[in-house]
Chain A
Amino acid sequence: MTKDEILAKTGLTVGVDNVSFSVAEGETFVIMGLCGSGKSTLVRCLNRLIEPTSGEIFLGGEDLTKMHKDKLRQIRRKDMSMVFQNFALLPNRTVLENAEYGLEIQGIDREERREKAMQSLELVGLAGYENSKPDQLSGGMKQRVGLARALANDPEVLLMDEAFSALDPLIRADMQDELLSLQEKMQKTIIFITHDLDEALKLGDRIMLMNDGKAVQTGTAEEILTEPADDYVQRFVRGVNRGDVLTAGDIMSKPWATVTLGQGPRLALKEMRKYGMELLFVLARDRKLAGAVTLEDVVKTAEKGEKSLESILQKDIAKAQMDTVITDLLPLTVNGTLPLAVIDEDERLRGVVVRGSILEALIPEGGDEDADSSTSA
């Protein structure tokens, strides 16, 4: 039966249609889709704020859908917390009283819950505001209270329903950064709902794209950008600033040829001629990048008959880390030498990036075939 047939027969709209996914412990899993794609319904099914009509939800081996109400309440109190789009703070309570709501519900005594709530307010950077009322705070601060309230319970799973969507762009970016750094410390399992692909790509270890109640594609940011499953995903992805997502490691090619410091100009010249290069990377021991030499200098030293590249070695060359995003590579390619050297944490040369591959990466796939339809996306 299709969605329309169900609507005609029962008067009910299908919110979430046959979606399955699993989230690993400590993972940030982003569910993304446009309005009406069923993502908010889906997240509410996870803690049964909305009862799913069929299906199973496992949390650590237990099926939430078959659970008795009292047991479910315990899960909501201890294991799963939720952060809401419009903050959902109680306006009659102070920031501290809001943050301790979950603990109060559990019947934890006043002093202990105060202490825990204060800790979690400090964690989100709201120490000193504990006696303010929510309407005295800005949007970003309100959502910090929402986050503090959710964290005060010390849950395993954090459900975030469009948590940053009501914030203006700058505050939003700050909150995203903050969530990332908090997550590095806490290692919670986060299920994050958003309609903003840039946000999804920034936060998500993995992303599930939803359309019309169905899961369209699940994968890492790169997988979604580079291998969109269908036209819908592709249209979505086209608007993304790929430069903020793809990294040097994604687009680099293997270094064709290198010489080590001990090898002489003659060998360097031979290598450069073989591949038609004007710049050659020179490695120290352990394949650590020492620098580069230019064709011009190599020819001169070879003519002089010197045995070492030491004198003409340029140490100050443009280098990028594996995880540098393309946007940050661009300035290097304008001012620095080309190709770019890509190194890992141990300064070993892992690959090179030429300008062509940067430009290629920035153009969306299939971009010029139907450029008109991008406006409808």
Chain B
Amino acid sequence: MLIPALLPRIPIGNWFATLVRWLKDTFEIVFDAIVVFLDWTIDALEWLLNFTEIYFEIPSFWFLSVLLALLAWKMSGRGVAIFTFLGIMLIASMNLWGPAVQTLAVIITATIVALIIGIPLGILAAKFNPVNAVVRPILDFMQTLPAFVYLLPAVIFFGIGVVPAVIATIIFAMPPAVRLTNLGIRQVPVELIEAGEAFGSNWFQLLFKVQLPQAMPTIMAGVNQCIMLSLSMVVIASLIGGGGLGSVVNRGISRLDVGLGFEGGLAVVIIAIILDRLTQGSED
């Protein structure tokens, strides 16, 4: 063929590999610090979810099912409360409560970090157009790049284990938080902004007293999406040591054990529904 001769092979793959190696060597301390921090956070969360078991020998699913059911009752109504209680009981009866707690710890950590980065970034993108111009293509990249592709660099930077799984989950789950925060703030009616400015609000007053309260429902939809996407990463993240329900599903796949795979999947779905109803209920 003529074209390959005319068109030189551009070694993007090599460049990227070199870049990853360089980053690892140069910022090793930073990556190690992130590992320590995330490890600690996940452990703390797991301890928190299990503390009734550790101190009072009450199985944590009893405690959490009641707590979450009450929370669901207050936020979304009786139906969701009943579903929450029965759902957690079902997971426990499938002997999957242990992995479920691990998964919860991972997605809660990932969601919190994604929101801590994502919401301020969304605010900046809404307030400053140049920020938006830079952030948008990066978000597109994060959302569309196949998740398996960034599992590899995650492993190189953070080693095998829960931490790279959390990092991969954060990358996958953050975009909707940024996008919907950005959108929510931009959709605040011009007249309200004008009113805020006409009465002499400064930048922060305008943000916290006018824009954020009006954008809240949209931002909450972003939070909800962020949680849902973290859950959808559970199985993929377990490939690099994410553990939890993801590795249950993986075991099912590798052993061609349809029953095990289905039970693991079902537990993920139940957790997803509970978390979705809890966060959506708090929208209004």
Binding site for B on A (CB under 8 A): 44, 47, 49, 73-78, 80-82, 84-86, 88-93, 101-102, 104-106, 149, 153, 159
Query: Are B194 and A49 interface neighbours, CB within 8 A?
Result: yes
Among B194, B200, B205, chain A packs the most CB atoms within 10 A around the CB of B200
- CB-CB < 8 A to A159: which residues of B? 198
Q: Given A73-B202, A104-B209, A92–B191 Cβ distance below 8 Å? A: no
Residue pairs across A and B with CB atoms within 8 Å: the count is: 60
One digit per residue, 1 when the CB lies within 8 angstroms of any chain A CB and 0 when it does not, for chain B 181-212 equals 00000000101101101111110010001100
Among A80, A85, A105, chain B packs the most CB atoms within 10 A around the CB of A105
CA distance A101 to B210 in the complex (A): 10
- CB-CB < 8 A to A84: which residues of B? 191, 194-195
Query: Are B191 and A86 interface neighbours, CB within 8 A?
Result: yes
A113 CB to nearest B CB, Å: 12
- CB-CB < 8 A to A74: which residues of B? 200
- CB-CB < 8 A to A106: which residues of B? 200
Which residues of B128-159 have CB atoms within 8 Å of chain A's CB atoms? none
- CB-CB < 8 A to B209: which residues of A? 90, 101, 104-105
CA distance A259 to B201 in the complex (A): 68
- CB-CB < 8 A to A82: which residues of B? 194-195, 198-199
Nearest 5 A/B pairs, CB to CB: A77-B200, A76-B200, A88-B195, A82-B198, A88-B191
CA distance A191 to B183 in the complex (A): 35
The answer to the question of B213 belonging to the interface, with a C-beta cut-off of 8 Å to chain A, is: yes
Query: Are B191 and A73 interface neighbours, CB within 8 A?
Result: no
The answer to the question of B214 belonging to the interface, with a C-beta cut-off of 8 Å to chain A, is: yes
- CB-CB < 8 A to A90: which residues of B? 192, 195, 209-210, 213-214
Among residues of B, the one whose C-beta sits closest to the C-beta of A87 is: B191
Query: Are A49 and B198 interface neighbours, CB within 8 A?
Result: yes
Q: Given A86-B191, A90-B192, A47–B214 Cβ distance below 8 Å? A: no
Q: Given A90-B213, A92-B214, A105–B201 Cβ distance below 8 Å? A: yes
B120 CB to nearest A CB, Å: 21
- CB-CB < 8 A to B202: which residues of A? 73
- CB-CB < 8 A to B197: which residues of A? 49, 76
CA distance A104 to B206 in the complex (A): 12
A23 CB to nearest B CB, Å: 18
- CB-CB < 8 A to B213: which residues of A? 90, 92-93
One digit per residue, 1 when the CB lies within 8 angstroms of any chain A CB and 0 when it does not, for chain B 58-91 equals 0000000000000000000000000000000000
Query: Are B199 and A88 interface neighbours, CB within 8 A?
Result: no
User: Which single member of B200, B214, B216 contacts A73 (CB below 8 Å)?
Assistant: B200
Query: Are A88 and B200 interface neighbours, CB within 8 A?
Result: no
Query: Are B214 and A81 interface neighbours, CB within 8 A?
Result: no
B2 CB to nearest A CB, Å: 46
CA distance A91 to B189 in the complex (A): 11
B-side interface size class: 10 to 19
- CB-CB < 8 A to A104: which residues of B? 209
B210 CB to nearest A CB, Å: 7
- CB-CB < 8 A to A76: which residues of B? 197-200
CA distance A82 to B198 in the complex (A): 6
- CB-CB < 8 A to A89: which residues of B? 195
User: Which single member of B191, B200, B214, B216 contacts A105 (CB below 8 Å)?
Assistant: B200
A303 CB to nearest B CB, Å: 77
What are 28 pairs between A and B in contact, CB < 8 Å? A44-B194, A49-B197, A49-B198, A73-B200, A76-B197, A77-B199, A77-B200, A78-B200, A81-B199, A82-B198, A82-B199, A84-B191, A84-B195, A88-B189, A88-B192, A88-B194, A90-B192, A90-B209, A90-B210, A92-B213, A92-B216, A101-B199, A101-B209, A104-B209, A105-B199, A105-B200, A105-B201, A153-B199
- CB-CB < 8 A to B201: which residues of A? 105
- CB-CB < 8 A to A102: which residues of B? 199-200
CA distance A84 to B201 in the complex (A): 16
- CB-CB < 8 A to B195: which residues of A? 82, 84, 88-90, 101
Among B192, B198, B209, chain A packs the most CB atoms within 10 A around the CB of B198
CA distance A104 to B202 in the complex (A): 12
A354 CB to nearest B CB, Å: 51
CA distance A78 to B199 in the complex (A): 8
CA distance A78 to B198 in the complex (A): 11
A174 CB to nearest B CB, Å: 23
- CB-CB < 8 A to B189: which residues of A? 88
Query: Are B205 and A105 interface neighbours, CB within 8 A?
Result: yes
CA distance A90 to B191 in the complex (A): 10
A134 CB to nearest B CB, Å: 11
Extra pairs beyond A81-B198, A92-B213, A149-B199 (5, CB < 8 Å)? A77-B199, A80-B198, A88-B192, A90-B210, A105-B205
CA distance A86 to B202 in the complex (A): 23
CA distance A88 to B205 in the complex (A): 16
- CB-CB < 8 A to A77: which residues of B? 199-200
A148 CB to nearest B CB, Å: 13
CA distance A44 to B191 in the complex (A): 12
Among residues of A, the one whose C-beta sits closest to the C-beta of B210 is: A90
- CB-CB < 8 A to A92: which residues of B? 213-214, 216
Among A44, A77, A88, chain B packs the most CB atoms within 10 A around the CB of A88
